[in-house]
Structure 1
Amino acid sequence: MSLGLARRASAEFTGTALLVTAVVGSGIAAARLSPDDVGLQLLENAIATALALGALILTFGPVSGAHFNPVVSAVDWWLGRRSGAGLAVRDLGGYVVAQVSGAIAGAVLADLMFGLRALAWSHTSRTGPNLWLAEGVATAGLVVLVFALARSGRASVAPAAVGAYIGAAYWFTSSTSFANPAVTIGRAFTDTFAGIAPASVPGFVVAQLVGGLVAVAALAVWYPDAAGAADTVVVPHGEEVTR
């Protein structure tokens, strides 16, 4: 792994870890603070996640683009593969490994901060066609959003826009919008409010990948030259940005 890729992968690892820490940690806090009101728990969880996501994009975006999501990274590679923009295959592998391992580390960190066992498989079953459909919709919408922002020269508003979208999708999807295979895997390692049973993970991940394919098709229609903006997803990044 080159020094440049190692630097970007470390940002993806840390950013994804802190994102999952925010998701899981705020879920634990919400369950403790509002034990008798699931709706309020979800609101608290959604607000904390949306705000944390925006802040993390601002922090790590200039280094790696702040993908924090294997689907975003895969679409970035796919769209930019011919033009030379976006991620190379080697970079994609490094990003995905960093994102998944970071997500698991983030779940462990959240559990430890709240005095729970470091590792505990979730027992929260999340399965069924309606939830898979919701994950496909949530993921497709997220991918279209980030590439539309980049292609139209509005990547600077991505922290607010992406955070707002995920916060809203907590409520307009039946699955509460995981929209991210790495985050889904990480959340299987915590038996708390935000957890997902390991047996439910494959269905969610497949639905998210399908959502990514739907997004690629939609971008081909609405933003046919989106590939040229792959280097600015989710936000502009690289050596020239961070100097």
Structure 2
Amino acid sequence: MRAAQTTCFHEADPALSLARRAGVEALGTMLLVLAASGGGIAASRLLSAAPGALLPVVAIVLAGALVSLIVAFGAVSGGHFNPLITVLQWLARERGGACAAAYVAAQLAGGAIGGRAAAVLWNVAPPAPGGLGWGGTAGELVASAGLMLVVFGCARSGRTSTGPLAVGAWLIAAVIAFPTTSYANPAVVLGALVTAGPLSLGLGSALPYVVGEIGGALLALLLVLVLMPRTGAEA
């Protein structure tokens, strides 16, 4: 009998096969990056006469895809689709090392497949390398820190219904508010290296973005441990 899921971003049954849980993380990440990249390509074509509308449309596409994927797959794997969430759970002793490693590998593979699949489906060649280089590190740091605070704040609230919608709402705001358009996910950055359209990144921006994301995630973990510690019963 499956155990009751009492918090979001944790699987309902941790005893479920790790291969199945990691497989769901790979599938979910692939679909997320495919939707984000494909949505960007579609929006850039449909809105060529109104470029100012591109960013809000991409934000809505990304948030919609992520919310639906977390709702659909969250009970199986926790619905991370982001190595930052997985690694922070491991650092917070909420997840074992073998599980975290399998999840991260699956997420990175899914991101790369999803990014490339979008370029192939739309038959678009990768454009000139995009991104802000090291100038985007601070933006990714803040965007990632905010995302991790939302994720862990919802998880520690004990209300399973809050997580997907809160994460989607944050991403809509962050995509529009931050100069990097808030990748906030190393798996998405990896997918962006092999895709086309507005999501595409060059190598000169990928490393700075990931550095910012890791820094933001660690900052968020520190804030979570200080401001939102788990009670003895929860621990």
Query: Under a length normalisation based on structure 1, what TM-score does the superposition of the two structures give?
Result: 0.85
Deviations 1:129-171 (A, max 9, x none): 3x21111111111111111111111231211111111111011
Which of 190, 210, 215 is equivalent to 1:210?
A: 215
Q: Distance in 2 between matches of 1:7 and 1:227?
A: 31
Q: Distance in 1 between matches of 2:26 and 2:218?
A: 24
Aligned twin of 2:123: 115
Aligned twin of 1:239: none
Q: Bigger CA drift: 156-165 or 21-30?
A: 156-165
Deviations 1:1-21 (A, max 9, x none): x97110011000000000001
Deviations 1:11-56 (A, max 9, x none): 0000000000111000000011011332211111111111111000
Aligned twin of 1:237: none
* Structure 1 residue 134 corresponds to structure 2 residue 147: no
Cα distance 1:122–1:97, how it changes in 2: closer, same or farther (>3 A)? Answer: farther
How is 1:89-238 mapped onto 2 (pairs within 5 angstroms)?
89-116=97-124, 120=126, 123-129=129-135, 131-225=136-230
Q: Is the 8 A contact 1:73 1:95 kept in 2?
A: yes
Question: 1:227, CA displacement in angstroms?
Answer: 9.5
Output the amino acid matched with 2:155: A
How many residues end up aligned between the 2 structures? 221
Q: Is the 8 A contact 1:122 1:189 kept in 2?
A: no
How is 1:55-66 mapped onto 2 (pairs within 5 angstroms)?
55-66=68-79
Cα distance 1:227–1:13, how it changes in 2: closer, same or farther (>3 A)? Answer: farther
Q: Is the 8 A contact 2:25 2:81 kept in 1?
A: yes
Cα distance 1:184–1:226, how it changes in 2: closer, same or farther (>3 A)? Answer: farther
Aligned twin of 1:23: 36
Output the amino acid matched with 1:27: G
Q: Which runs of 5+ in 1 are unaligned?
A: 81-85, 231-243
Q: Distance in 2 between matches of 1:145 and 1:88?
A: 22
Cα distance 1:39–1:66, how it changes in 2: closer, same or farther (>3 A)? Answer: same
Q: Bigger CA drift: 69-78 or 29-38?
A: 29-38
Q: Percent identity?
A: 38
Q: Distance in 1 between matches of 2:165 and 2:224?
A: 21
Q: Distance in 2 between matches of 1:44 and 1:220?
A: 35
Q: Which runs of 5+ in 2 are unaligned?
A: 1-14
Question: 1:88, CA displacement in angstroms?
Answer: 0.8
Q: Is the 8 A contact 1:20 1:106 kept in 2?
A: yes
Structure 1 runs (4+) greater than 4 angstroms displaced: 226-230
Output the amino acid matched with 1:64: S
Aligned twin of 2:46: 33
Cα distance 1:149–1:17, how it changes in 2: closer, same or farther (>3 A)? Answer: same
Cα distance 1:13–1:221, how it changes in 2: closer, same or farther (>3 A)? Answer: same
Deviations 1:185-232 (A, max 9, x none): 1111113211111221111101100001101110122112279768xx
Cα distance 1:121–1:60, how it changes in 2: closer, same or farther (>3 A)? Answer: farther
Q: Is the 8 A contact 1:126 1:197 kept in 2?
A: no
Query: Under a length normalisation based on structure 2, what TM-score does the superposition of the two structures give?
Result: 0.88
Q: Is the 8 A contact 2:124 2:196 kept in 1?
A: no
Deviations 1:67-92 (A, max 9, x none): 11111100001112xxxxx3211111
